[in-house]
A and B are shown apart, each in its own frame.
Chain A
Amino acid sequence: MSGAIAKAFARAKARGEGALVAYGMAGDPDLPRSVDVFTAMVEGGADIVEVGVAFSDPIADGPVIQGAAERALKAGSTLKRVLDEVVPELHRRCPETPLVIMTYVNVIMAMGEERFAKLARERGVSGVILPDLPPEESGSLRATFDASGVDLIPLCAPTTPPARAEAIAKDARGFVYCVAVSGVTGMRAELPADLSQRLELVRKASPMPVVAGFGISTAEQAHTLSAHADGVVVGSALVRAAHAEGPQAARALCAEIKRGLKR
C-alpha cells in the first residue's frame, strides 16, 4: 500500500485529530483554477485530497457534484488532462498530501487499466476510488493497481450486510470509505442514528483507517463522527463553497471542519 496515505492518517492521529479527506472537482471552474482550489483545501488543513474526475453519467452523485462535473466537462477536463495538468502541479505544491483520484470505472477503462495505473503512479497519485466498482467487479483492476503501488480504496454502504462489510474492511487498500447515508453525494442535515455502530464494526475488522463520507458538511458532524472513525470526507459542501466563492471559501470550510475533528 501507498505509504503516503498511512503517513497522513498517522500524522493526524499524532496531533489528536481525525483526518480530513477533502473532495474537489478537477476542472471546475477550469483546470488551473481547480488546482488553486485543491491547494487552498490543503492550506485549510485537508490531510488527503480527493481529485474528482468528471464523468458524463455520475450515478452515485447528487446535484452539487453532478453540476460540477458538467462544468468540468465543458471546461475540457479529461482523465488524461487531470493527470497531466492538475496532479503534478498539485503534487509539487503540496508534496506531503496524498492525492486520491475519484471517478467512475468507465473513465479508467477508456484510458486502459495499465496505462492509467502507470501514469497515476508516475504523477504522484496514491489511491483511487471508483464508486461504481463493487468488490465482485474489481479483481483485475485491483491486481493491476497493486502491481503499480496504487491503492484501490473500497466503499462500504449502510445497506452492506455485516459479514460483507467485514470482508470489504479486511481486504481494504489505503483506507475504507464508509458511505454514511443510503443515497447519493450531497449535504444532509441528519446522519443515520446507527452510523457509529457501523463505523465501529468496520473499524474493528479493518487493518486500514476508516473514514465516513457522503452527507457530511459541518464541524459538528465531523466532531461526532471522529469518535468512531479515523476521518471524514467532505465533498459537496466544499464543491459548492468553491463554486460560489472561490478557493478562499474552500480553505475556510476545511479549517472549520478541522476544528470539529479535534479530539
Chain B
Amino acid sequence: MNTQTAVGRFGRFGGRYVPETLVPALMELEEAYAAARADPTFDAEVAQVLREFVGRPTTLTPARRLTEAWGGAHVWLKREDLAHTGAHKINNTVGQVLLARRMGKKRIIAETGAGQHGVATATACALFGLPCEVFMGALDVERQALNVFRMRALGAVVRPVESGSRTLKDAMNEAMRTWVSQVSDTHYVIGSAAGPHPYPTVVRDFQAIIGRELRTQAQAAFGKLPDAIVACVGGGSNAIGVLHPFIGDPSVRLIGVEAGGHGLDSGQHGASLTLGTEGVLHGSRSLVLQDADGQIQEAHSISAGLDYPGVGPELAHLAKTGRMEVRTATDDEALASFYEVARLEGILPALETSHAFARGRELARELGAGKYLVINCSGRGDKDVATISARGVPPAVGVKP
C-alpha cells in the first residue's frame, strides 16, 4: 500500500529541508534510485548479496517458552539478529552501497548510534572496496566500544563527535556537514528511514525485505498473516521494514515501541511519536522532541540505537493516522526483557529489540490464545553486554545463590 501522498511526502511529513548545496545531490540520488529500481539487474544483484553474504532469508522462529510464560497469543520471532553483522541494518547498507557504486561515487560516509549501522556500512564498504568514514557521538563511542573496534577492523575511519549531546543526533549533524563539503564524489548512507527525501523511501524499500519474507514465512508456519507485529522504533527502519508490507492488511495490528528511558514524565526518553511535536530535523518534517522555542531536546535511552529525538516521516504519518499503534518501554523494562528472552529462548536480544519484547507480554495477553504475535528481532545483544553487565547480572533462574 502506498503511504506516499506526494513526492517525498507522507501526509504532513517528509520533504527535503536541507542546504541548497545538497538539493542537487538528493535529486541525483532520487533519479539514480528510480533507474536502479527499474533495472531488474539491480534487484537481482541486491538479492544475490542478501542471499549469499547476509544470509537471507532470516528465519521465523517460534518462541515456545515465551508463549507459555506469557499465556496468550503464539509468539514468533523474525530473526534479523541472525543476519550478517547482527542486525537488520545490513539490508539497507548493502542496497545503498550498491546504489552508490552504480552512481560512480568514490567514498561513503555514515552516522551511527549503537554502532550497528556503522558496522553494517563498514562491512558493505569492505565487501565492495569503497573507503568509509563513520561519524559517531563521543558518548556512543564509549558505550559501544565493541562496535567501534569492529568498524576499525573492517577498515572504516570512526570520527567521534563531541558537539551537542554527543549521541546519534549530533553524529547525523556532523555527517550532513561533511556531506555538504564532499557532495560531488561522496554518498551518505543514512541508517534509518529518516532524513531528507528520498532517504525515507530508499531505506524503507531496502528494509521491506523483512516484511515481505515474513508474509511468506507466516503463511508457511501458521497458515495466515500474523494478527499483530511489534517492532522497536528509533529512527524507524526495522519497524517500517517489517510493517510496511502489511499496511494494506487491516487484520494485522502494527505496533511500534519507543524508548521510554527513565519514564515519559522524567523528560528523559526517546519517545518522539508519543510526545514529539511537528518539526524539522535532519532534513525532514516529522515528530521531534523539542522545546517551545524549537530547540531539539536531547533524547535518552539505555539503548544507543533508540537514543534519537526524531523519527522517520512515514512512521509519523502511520502513527498520526492511527494505522500504527505506539507504545513505550522504559530502560528498566527493556533490561528485564533482555534477561527474560535470554533465559527462556536462548537469545540475547539487542537492547533496542528488548523494548519490543517488553511490550510483547501484554500484547500476547491482549490478543489472547490462538492469535499470532510476531516480534521483530532487530538485532543481537552482543554489542550491549558491557552496558548490561555493568549493572550486575541477576542470579540465574532456579539457581540458589
Q: Is A166 an interface residue (CB 8 A)?
A: no
Given contacts A57-B281, A110-B292, A137-B15, could you give 8 more A-B pairs where the C-beta distance is less than 8 Å? A60-B19, A104-B280, A110-B290, A155-B19, A160-B20, A164-B24, A179-B21, A183-B21
Complex CA–CA separation, A13 to B61 (angstroms)? 75
Q: Is B89 an interface residue (CB 8 A)?
A: no
CB proximity of B4 to chain A, nearest CB, Å: 16
Q: Is B42 an interface residue (CB 8 A)?
A: no
A184 near B181 with CB under 8 A, answer yes
Interface residues of A in 76-111 (CB under 8 A from B): 78-80, 104-111
B184 near A182 with CB under 8 A, answer yes
CB proximity of A52 to chain B, nearest CB, Å: 14
CB proximity of B330 to chain A, nearest CB, Å: 25
A111 near B294 with CB under 8 A, answer yes
B296 near A57 with CB under 8 A, answer yes
Complex partner residue of B19 from A107, A109, A111, A132, CB under 8 angstroms: A132
Complex partner residue of A62 from B23, B177, B283, CB under 8 angstroms: B177
**What residues of chain A have their CB less than 8 Å away from a CB belonging to chain B?**
55-62, 66, 70, 73, 78-80, 104-111, 131-134, 136-137, 155-161, 164, 168, 179, 182-184
Complex CA–CA separation, A61 to B18 (angstroms)? 12
What would 26 A/B residue contacts be, using CB atoms closer than 8 Å? Answer: A55-B295, A57-B169, A57-B281, A57-B282, A59-B176, A59-B177, A59-B180, A66-B163, A106-B281, A106-B288, A106-B290, A108-B294, A109-B279, A110-B279, A110-B290, A110-B294, A111-B293, A132-B19, A134-B23, A136-B23, A137-B15, A157-B19, A157-B24, A160-B23, A179-B21, A182-B183
**Interface size of B in residues (CB-CB distance below 8 Å):** 35
Complex CA–CA separation, A62 to B173 (angstroms)? 11
A134 near B16 with CB under 8 A, answer yes
CB proximity of B132 to chain A, nearest CB, Å: 21
Q: Which of A62, A66, A159 gathers the greatest number of chain B CB atoms within 10 Å?
A: A159
Complex CA–CA separation, A109 to B291 (angstroms)? 12
Complex CA–CA separation, A108 to B183 (angstroms)? 27
Complex partner residue of B20 from A78, A106, A111, A155, CB under 8 angstroms: A155
Interface residues of B in 146-177 (CB under 8 A from A): 163-164, 169-170, 173, 176-177
- CB neighbours of B173 from chain A (8 A): 57-59
Complex CA–CA separation, A59 to B282 (angstroms)? 8
Q: Is B347 an interface residue (CB 8 A)?
A: no
A159 near B184 with CB under 8 A, answer yes
Q: Is B332 an interface residue (CB 8 A)?
A: no
- CB neighbours of B282 from chain A (8 A): 57, 59
- CB neighbours of A56 from chain B (8 A): 164, 295-296
Q: Give B278-310 as 1s and 0s: 1 = Cβ < 8 Å from A's Cβ atoms.
A: 111111000010101111100000000000000
Complex CA–CA separation, A57 to B297 (angstroms)? 10
A131 near B19 with CB under 8 A, answer yes
Complex partner residue of A132 from B17, B290, B294, B296, CB under 8 angstroms: B17
Complex CA–CA separation, A80 to B295 (angstroms)? 12
Complex partner residue of B181 from A61, A134, A137, A183, CB under 8 angstroms: A183
User: A66-B163, A132-B17, A137-B15 known; A109 and B24 CB under 8 Å?
Assistant: no
CB proximity of A179 to chain B, nearest CB, Å: 6
The 4 A-B residue pairs whose C-beta atoms are closest, nearest first, are A110-B294, A183-B181, A157-B21, A78-B293
Complex CA–CA separation, A73 to B296 (angstroms)? 11
Complex CA–CA separation, A73 to B115 (angstroms)? 29
- CB neighbours of A79 from chain B (8 A): 293-294
- CB neighbours of A108 from chain B (8 A): 294
- CB neighbours of A61 from chain B (8 A): 177
- CB neighbours of A109 from chain B (8 A): 278-280, 294
Interface residues of B in 231-284 (CB under 8 A from A): 278-283
Complex CA–CA separation, A243 to B173 (angstroms)? 23
- CB neighbours of A133 from chain B (8 A): 17
Residue of B nearest to A67 (CB): B163
CB proximity of A177 to chain B, nearest CB, Å: 9
B20 near A157 with CB under 8 A, answer yes
Complex CA–CA separation, A80 to B293 (angstroms)? 8
Complex CA–CA separation, A109 to B293 (angstroms)? 9
Q: Give B1-41 as 1s and 0s: 1 = Cβ < 8 Å from A's Cβ atoms.
A: 00000000000000111111111110000000000000000
- CB neighbours of B181 from chain A (8 A): 182-184
- CB neighbours of B183 from chain A (8 A): 159, 182
CB proximity of B66 to chain A, nearest CB, Å: 40
Complex CA–CA separation, A241 to B290 (angstroms)? 31
Complex CA–CA separation, A70 to B164 (angstroms)? 8
- CB neighbours of B169 from chain A (8 A): 57
Complex CA–CA separation, A137 to B17 (angstroms)? 7
Complex CA–CA separation, A108 to B294 (angstroms)? 8
- CB neighbours of B176 from chain A (8 A): 59
A106 near B294 with CB under 8 A, answer yes
B296 near A106 with CB under 8 A, answer yes
Q: Give B67-90 as 1s and 0s: 1 = Cβ < 8 Å from A's Cβ atoms.
A: 000000000000000000000000
Complex CA–CA separation, A131 to B279 (angstroms)? 16
B279 near A106 with CB under 8 A, answer yes
User: A105-B280, A182-B181 known; A158 and B17 CB under 8 Å?
Assistant: no
CB proximity of A72 to chain B, nearest CB, Å: 11
CB proximity of A158 to chain B, nearest CB, Å: 7
A107 near B294 with CB under 8 A, answer yes
Q: Which of B19, B22, B176 gathers the greatest number of chain A CB atoms within 10 Å?
A: B19
Complex partner residue of B24 from A80, A105, A160, CB under 8 angstroms: A160
Residue of A nearest to B298 (CB): A56
Q: Which of B173, B176, B293 gathers the greatest number of chain A CB atoms within 10 Å?
A: B293
Complex CA–CA separation, A63 to B281 (angstroms)? 19
